[in-house]
Amino acid sequence: MTRPAFIVAEPEPEQALSTRKLILETFKYNVITAHSVPETLDLVRLFPNVQALIIHCGLPDFDADDLIKEVKQSTPKLPIIALTPTERELKWADHIVQSHNPQELLGLVQRLFGDPRKHHGSADQAASDHDLD
């Protein structure tokens, strides 16, 4: 099984480590990180075979609906997961999860794309027997 890959658009500075990125990578997903709207759009064009785009709605100086709409127009089949601190509706997003709940994001990703840890060698399989608390 090929490990699913995602683009994660995060507001943190490039030097910071994203909790979401670390959790997804710990569970054997591949993550490409963008830190701005232009970088997000460039990565969507450069990596057309990613399984989903995960957008943190705290990116500075952007309207989440506009960014999601632009991505949907260029790549309509790319699932978009919006991370938001509130129950805010985002018209163009396919899925909305709480940005402060990485377990919710991980659960959604596992339901949508499977758990790559279950398809690797015994060391990875042993690690998969332990859930993130």
40-57: per-residue pLDDT in tens? 999 999 999 999 999 988
pLDDT value of residue 58: 67
pLDDT average, residue stretch 15-36: 85
If one counts the domains in the chain, the total is 1
Alpha carbons 66 and 75: distance in angstroms, whole number: 14
If pLDDT is split at 50, 70 and 90, which confidence band does 126 have?
very low
Q: Which whole-number Å values give the CA distances from 68 to 33, 76, 107, 111, 132, in the listed order?
A: 16, 10, 22, 22, 29
pLDDT average, residue stretch 33-39: 87
If pLDDT is split at 50, 70 and 90, which confidence band does 15 have?
low
Residue 15's domain spans which residues?
A: 5-128
Residue 96 within a domain: yes
List the CATH number of the domain containing 36: 3.40.50.2300
Residue 133 within a domain: no
pLDDT average, residue stretch 27-33: 94
Question: Model pTM?
Answer: 0.81
